[in-house]
Amino acid sequence: MKDALYFDEESELMQNEIPQSNSCAIKISFSLDFEIGQSYVTSKIEDRDGNIRKLNLQPGTRGIKLQSDLIRVKNKDAELPPYAYVRATLKDGKTLVRKLPIIGTSDWLLIFEEDLFVLAVRDQYDEIEILG
């Protein structure tokens, strides 16, 4: 019953690709409280310094735009990795993992991915972890 641990086959395959925590250039994790719009879902994120940031989840071509003042890159001179892994533990205990190309930075943390969007609308998870 190994498959029961993952949302789908893609999640199981991607779980094995996620870099170990100590070798990640990007590593953020946060709790979410979703607000549903017409074609997007937003959530406020409080960073370590108490500043409020915003996450926007949308369907569409897969990708992620990072909010530069939300992430802490280990080596400031290093380029961002080409991909980030987004992991969410669903309320039924299954794990959803997606590998998303980093398409730049933005004023908000923007994630474009259909399943993450639909599951957020259905209030199926409370936290997201981003590793890259």
pLDDT at site 76 = 58
pLDDT at site 55 = 93
Reduce the DSSP state of residue 110 to 3 states and report it: strand
Torsion angle in degrees (nearest 10) through CA of 78, 84, 85, 87: 100
Quote the CA–CA distance of 99 and 121 in Å, as a whole number: 20
pLDDT band at 2 (very low <50, low <70, confident <90, very high): low
pTM (two decimals): 0.87
37-61 pLDDT, tens digit each: 889 999 998 877 888 889 999 999 9
Q: Which residue has the higher pLDDT, 3 or 11?
A: 11
Reduce the DSSP state of residue 98 to 3 states and report it: strand
